[in-house]
């Protein structure tokens, strides 16, 4: 399967070439339609990336940064209780210090948490990106 773009910049997945018309699928709706070949051009975007782009950017950020249920739980707790001091996280949850700092670094790199001071100690709170994504995932908007 290839990815194509029409003259309006809309992305489609090429399902089948059939003469002067190509069968394309809209990655957002899944609807298929025939379009004139002359109005479509192949692009270098992966078809799977085109499909994943139909998910909101904040939710994609969470999905790519959270690799385990434990990591998801940590992000949810920081979002619920945040900002939270690192010492509190170490006392409260089953993370060794290096694993916790590694997970927090992944969240920071993904733009899901930011460093904050909590009672004079280093801590973290969730960013708007994480808060929005978690609200969508939990359906609590």
The DSSP bridge partners found for residue 126 are 113
Give 19's pLDDT tier (boundaries 50, 70, 90).
Answer: confident
Q: Quote the radius of gyration of the chain (alpha carbons, Å).
A: 21
- Tell which of 12, 32, 52 closes a domain: 52
pLDDT in the model for residue 140: 62
- Domain of 22 in residue numbering reads as 2-52
The answer for residues whose C-beta is within 8 angstroms of residue 91's C-beta and 6 or more apart is none
pLDDT at 141 exceeding the cut of 60 = no
SS3 label, residue 58: helix
Q: 8 and 39 share a domain?
A: yes
Q: 87 and 120 share a domain?
A: yes
pLDDT at 56 exceeding the cut of 60 = yes
As for how many domains the chain has, the answer is 2
Q: 21 and 85 share a domain?
A: no
pLDDT at 89 exceeding the cut of 70 = yes
pLDDT in the model for residue 119: 94
pLDDT in the model for residue 139: 84
DSSP of 33-90 = EEEEGGGEEEESS-HHHHHHTTS-HHHHHHHHH--SHHHHHHHHHHHHH-SEEHHHHH
Whether residue 84 is preceded by a cis peptide bond, meaning omega within 30 degrees of 0, is: no
Residue 104 CB: number of other CB atoms within 10 A? Answer: 21
Q: 11 and 78 share a domain?
A: no
Q: What are the C-alpha distances in Å from 23 to residues 47, 49, 91, 98?
A: 15, 19, 57, 51
Q: Average per-residue pLDDT in the chain?
A: 94
pLDDT in the model for residue 42: 94
Q: 62 and 127 share a domain?
A: yes
Q: 118 and 71 share a domain?
A: yes
The DSSP bridge partners found for residue 23 are 16, 34
DSSP assigned state of 95: -
Q: 44 and 66 share a domain?
A: no
Q: 108 and 75 share a domain?
A: yes
Q: 82 and 48 share a domain?
A: no
Q: 30 and 65 share a domain?
A: no
pLDDT at 15 exceeding the cut of 60 = yes
Q: 83 and 103 share a domain?
A: yes
Nearest to 34 by CA among 8, 7, 10, 16: 16
Q: What is the CATH number of the domain that holds 99?
A: 1.10.10.10
Q: 62 and 121 share a domain?
A: yes
């Amino acid at each position: 399967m290839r990815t194509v773009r029409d003259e309006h910049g809309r992305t489609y997945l090429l399902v089948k070439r059939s003469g002067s018309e190509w069968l394309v699928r809209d990655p957002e709706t899944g609807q298929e339609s025939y379009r004139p070949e002359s109005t479509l051009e192949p692009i270098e975007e992966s078809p799977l990336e085109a499909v994943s782009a139909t998910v909101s950017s904040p939710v994609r950020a969470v999905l790519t940064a959270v690799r385990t249920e434990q990591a998801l739980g940590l992000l949810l707790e920081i979002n619920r209780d945040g900002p939270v001091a690192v010492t509190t996280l170490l006392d409260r949850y089953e993370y060794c210090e290096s694993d916790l700092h590694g997970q927090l670094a992944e969240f920071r790199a993904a733009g899901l948490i930011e460093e904050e001071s909590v009672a004079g100690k280093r801590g973290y709170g969730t960013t708007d990106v994480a808060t929005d994504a978690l609200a969508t995932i939990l359906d609590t908007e």
